[in-house]
Structure 1
Amino acid sequence: MSLPVSPDESVETRRIGVFLAVAYGVAWATGLTIYATGGLVDSPELLPGLGITLATVLLPTAYMFAPAVGTVVTRLATGEGWANLGVRPRFRPSWRTYALAWFVPALLTLVGAAVYFAVFSATFDPELTAFTEAVRAASGGELPLDPWTLVAIQLVAAVTIAPLINALFAFGEELGWRGYLLPKLLPLGRRQATLVVGLVWGAWHWPLIAMGYNYGFSYPGAPWTGFLAMCWFTLTTGVFLAWVTLKSESVWPAAIAHGAINAVAAIGALFVAGQPNPLLGPTPLGVVGGVGWTVLAAWLLWRSEVFTASPPLAETAGEVTGDATTAEMR
Structure 2
Amino acid sequence: MRVTHNKTLRNVIIFSLVALSCGWIGRLVDLQAGTDENGSLGQLIWIVSPLLAVVIMRSWMGDGWKDFGIKPRIRGNTLLYAFSFLFFPLMTAVIVAIGLGLGWTDMFSSSSSYLAAIGMALIPSFIKNVFEEFAWRGHMAPKLFSLGYNRFLVHIAVGLVWGAWHFPYLFLFVDTTESMITYIPRMMIGVIVMAILYGEILLMTRSVWPAVVMHTMGNAFIDTLILKKFILVHEEFSYVAMPSPEGILAIALTGLAGLWIFKRRKRTTPR
TM-score (norm 1): 0.68
Counterpart secondary structure, 2:76: helix
2:2 pairs with 1:21: no
C-alpha distance 234-189 of structure 1, shift in aligned 2 (>3 A) = same
Shift of 1:37: 4.1
Q: What is the CA deviation profile of residues 78-118 of structure 1, one whole-angstrom value per residue up to 9, with x for unaligned ones?
A: 23333332112222332322222111111112222233444
**Structure 1 counterpart of 2:222, one-letter code:** A
2:207 pairs with 1:247: no
**Structure 1 counterpart of 2:128, one-letter code:** F
Alignment of 1:288-299 (within 5 A): 288-290=248-250, 291-299=252-260
CA distance in 2, matches of 1:62, 1:277: 35
**Structure 1 counterpart of 2:254, one-letter code:** W
Say if 2:15 and 2:54, in contact at 8 Å, map to a contact too: yes
Q: Which moved more, 1:110-119 or 1:92-101?
A: 110-119
- What corresponds to 1:326 in structure 2? none
C-alpha distance 199-214 of structure 1, shift in aligned 2 (>3 A) = same
CA distance in 2, matches of 1:225, 1:194: 22
Shift of 1:263: 0.5
CA distance in 2, matches of 1:281, 1:263: 18
- What corresponds to 2:113 in structure 1? 150
C-alpha distance 59-117 of structure 1, shift in aligned 2 (>3 A) = farther
CA distance in 2, matches of 1:286, 1:56: 24
Counterpart secondary structure, 2:84: helix
C-alpha distance 253-218 of structure 1, shift in aligned 2 (>3 A) = same
Counterpart secondary structure, 1:272: strand
Flag structure 2 segments of 5+ consecutive residues without an equivalent: none
Counterpart secondary structure, 2:173: coil
- What corresponds to 1:68 in structure 2? 51
C-alpha distance 116-64 of structure 1, shift in aligned 2 (>3 A) = farther
CA distance in 1, matches of 2:75, 2:158: 27
C-alpha distance 22-77 of structure 1, shift in aligned 2 (>3 A) = farther
- What corresponds to 1:202 in structure 2? 163
Which of 107, 112, 120 is 2:90 aligned to?
107
Counterpart secondary structure, 2:106: coil
**Structure 2 counterpart of 1:271, one-letter code:** I
C-alpha distance 182-274 of structure 1, shift in aligned 2 (>3 A) = closer
C-alpha distance 59-178 of structure 1, shift in aligned 2 (>3 A) = farther
CA distance in 2, matches of 1:58, 1:224: 29
Counterpart secondary structure, 1:284: coil
Shift of 1:276: 5.2
CA distance in 2, matches of 1:205, 1:81: 27
**Structure 2 counterpart of 1:191, one-letter code:** F
CA distance in 1, matches of 2:234, 2:244: 18
Task: Give the structure with the larger helix fraction.
Answer: 2
- What corresponds to 1:233 in structure 2? 190
- Asked which structure has the greater CA Rg, the reply is 1
Which of 21, 27, 34 is 1:31 aligned to?
27
Shift of 1:248: 1.5
C-alpha distance 289-62 of structure 1, shift in aligned 2 (>3 A) = farther
C-alpha distance 217-110 of structure 1, shift in aligned 2 (>3 A) = closer
Say if 1:168 and 1:255, in contact at 8 Å, map to a contact too: no
Flag structure 1 segments of 5+ consecutive residues without an equivalent: 1-8, 44-52, 133-146, 317-330
C-alpha distance 298-287 of structure 1, shift in aligned 2 (>3 A) = farther
CA distance in 2, matches of 1:56, 1:248: 32
2:228 pairs with 1:271: no
C-alpha distance 208-175 of structure 1, shift in aligned 2 (>3 A) = same
CA distance in 1, matches of 2:43, 2:213: 15
Percent of aligned positions that are identical: 21
